[in-house]
Amino acid sequence: MGGSAGRKLYVVTQTTDAAAVEQPPKPRRRRRVHRAWFVAAVTFVTIIGAAAFRSVPGLLIDPLHDEFDWSRGTIGAAVSVNLALYGLTAPFAAALMDRFGIRRVVAAALTVIALGSLLTVWMTAAWQLMLCWGLLVGLGSGSMALAFAATVTNRWFTERRGLVSGILTAASASGQLIFLPLLSWIIDRYEWRPAAVTVALAALAVVPFVWLLLHDHPADVGQKPYGATEFVPKPAPVPGAARRAVTVLFSAARTGPFWLLAGTFAICGASTNGLIQTHFIPAAHDHHMPVTAAASLLAVIGVFDVVGTIASGWFTDRFEPRRLLAVYYALRGVSLMFLPLLLGPAVHPPMIFFIVFYGLDWVATVPPTLALCREQYGEDSAIVFGWVLASHQVGAALVAFLGGVARDAFGSYDVVWYASGALCAAAALMALVIRRRGVGMAAI
């Protein structure tokens, strides 16, 4: 009995061991791409579609001046209203996204952009330009501002936020890259009205993608934010969007870092959207450069802006954002000082170098500014960044208007280039004195 039992046990053991050896390995489960990256991709495409309208103001200055005999200061005033509303609407849009959801707010914003752009086709007076391009497109674009990117980043990501904010910021430059050469060609061949219609159609084309694919929160699809270790439930809708936006402003305005961030970002807007995007094409045309060539140079800025902004997001995840801002503003100021010497009737290597250099720095300031807002203001950072962005657009609006006035008064843009370069040097110094959270955060 004992030997038989021993043999039976041996046989069973051998059979079990053989089965273990012969059993094929279980196939590895493929790692699925997190839904956050799909949401970021839809957001990227959405911002590209909305960016079409931002390519137009600099292209319209000369055509509208020639057709309606409006002064460049008048046209610049309409552009300044657009730029100011682009910024002032952003914090309220961020609060509205908390109340009604990202999808509804963005779809409505794109529709308003399309309506404003389309109505300009029938305008005959300067006030109509203010209403359509200034008010309607300004309100719609403000709801599509970088506060939208900040909201998506904050909700869907806990890791790689710097990189994602850089990619979404670069989407605006990509839109400029795609549409600017096309719109300049349309204006050169068919006048400016077909270009306005193209902008309207581009904005409308994105609406279905937003409505079908842009989810408001990771909890909507039963997932955690990318990089999170715990599930984050979807917060309840926050009532009183306008009141919350103003309350957050008053709270942030009692701290020193807010004013430093707002001041540096105002100079950022003045030296990019207000100056180069609005006045580079007419300034180059003053030096007998063809409009299509000048528009192509701006498109090249868009190419390198994508590279520079994504790289800036990568740097922001790894280096001190205050020092990054100081470097970015200092380099931008130096490049603007040399621009009057480079403008001419033809595109030459030094001008190409300026375009590449300036493009890398165009909105590289956004990821570190976003990072500093998150560091200082936590859950309210998207709304605070909306107010900081408002200062960006106020600075842009002032220079869009004053640049046109300076051109009418002095016959050139030289004084504007030099003044903007000096402002960038001041912004570099301001960035270095922003203190860390908990240090010097007393009310002022």
Cα–Cα distances in Å, from 183 out to 52, 241, 294, 299, 301?
9, 36, 12, 11, 16
Q: What is the per-residue pLDDT for 209?
A: 81
Give burial (CB, 10 Å; 0-12/13-18/19+) of 141. Answer: buried
Beta bridge partners of 255: 443
From first to last of its 444 residues, what are the pLDDT tens digits of the chain?
A: 444 444 444 444 444 444 444 555 555 555 677 778 888 888 888 877 666 666 676 677 788 888 888 887 788 788 778 777 877 777 777 778 877 888 888 888 888 888 888 898 888 888 888 888 788 888 887 777 666 777 888 888 888 877 787 788 777 666 666 677 788 888 888 888 888 888 888 888 888 888 887 877 888 777 788 877 778 777 777 666 678 778 888 999 998 899 999 999 999 989 987 888 788 888 888 888 888 888 888 878 877 887 888 888 888 888 889 999 999 999 999 989 888 888 888 888 888 888 888 888 877 888 899 889 888 888 788 788 878 888 887 888 888 888 888 888 888 888 889 999 999 999 999 999 988 765 444 333
Q: What is the per-residue pLDDT for 58?
A: 66
Nearest to 145 by CA among 425, 375, 389, 357: 389
Q: What is the per-residue pLDDT for 147?
A: 67
Q: At what angle do helices 278-286 and 57-68 cross, to 10 degrees?
A: 60
Q: How many C-beta atoms lie closer than 10 Å to residue 318's C-beta?
A: 8
- The label of the residue with tokens 């130096």 reads 334
Q: What is the per-residue pLDDT for 325?
A: 93
pTM of the model: 0.66
Angle among Cα 111, 113, 115 to the nearest 5 degrees reads: 70
CA dihedral 353, 401, 62, 128 (to 10 degrees): 140
Q: What is the per-residue pLDDT for 54?
A: 64
The three state secondary structure string of 66-113 is HHHCCCHHHHHHHHHHHHHHHHHCHHHHHHHHHHHCHHHHHHHHHHHH
CATH superfamily of 35-227+236-432: MFS general substrate transporter like domains (1.20.1250.20)
Using an 8 Å Cβ cutoff, are 139 and 112 in contact? Answer: yes
Q: What is the per-residue pLDDT for 441?
A: 40
Hey, what are 224's tokens?
């955690």
42: left (phi over 0), alpha (psi -120 to 50) or beta: alpha
Q: What is the per-residue pLDDT for 13?
A: 46
The three state secondary structure string of the chain is CHHHHHHHHHHHHHHHHHHHHHCCCCCCCCCCCCHHHHHHHHHHHHHHHHHHHHHCHHHHHHHHHHHHCCCHHHHHHHHHHHHHHHHHCHHHHHHHHHHHCHHHHHHHHHHHHHHHHHHHHHCCCHHHHHHHHHHHHHHHHHHCCHHHHHHHHHHHECCCHHHHHHHHHHHHHHHHHHHHHHHHHHHHHHCCHHHHHHHHHHHHHHHHHHHHHCCCCHHHHCCCCECCCCCCCCCCCCCCHHHHHHHHHHHHCCEHHHHHHHHHHHHHHHHCHHHHHHHHHHHHHHCCCCHHHHHHHHHHHHHHHHHHHHHHHHHHCCCCHHHHHHHHHHHHHHHHHHHHHHCCCCCCHHHHHHHHHHHHHCCCCHHHHHHHHHHHHHHHHHHHHHHHHHHHHHHHHHHHHHHHHHHHHHCCCHHHHHHHHHHHHHHHHHHHCCCCCCCCCCEC
Q: Read off the pLDDT of residues 168-180 as tens digits, 9 standing for 90 and up.
A: 877 766 666 667 7
Q: Read off the pLDDT of residues 260-311 as tens digits, 9 standing for 90 and up.
A: 999 999 999 899 878 887 888 888 888 888 888 888 888 788 778 878 888 8
Q: How many C-beta atoms lie closer than 10 Å to residue 226's C-beta?
A: 20
Q: What is the per-residue pLDDT for 52?
A: 64
- The label of the residue with tokens 């701006």 reads 298
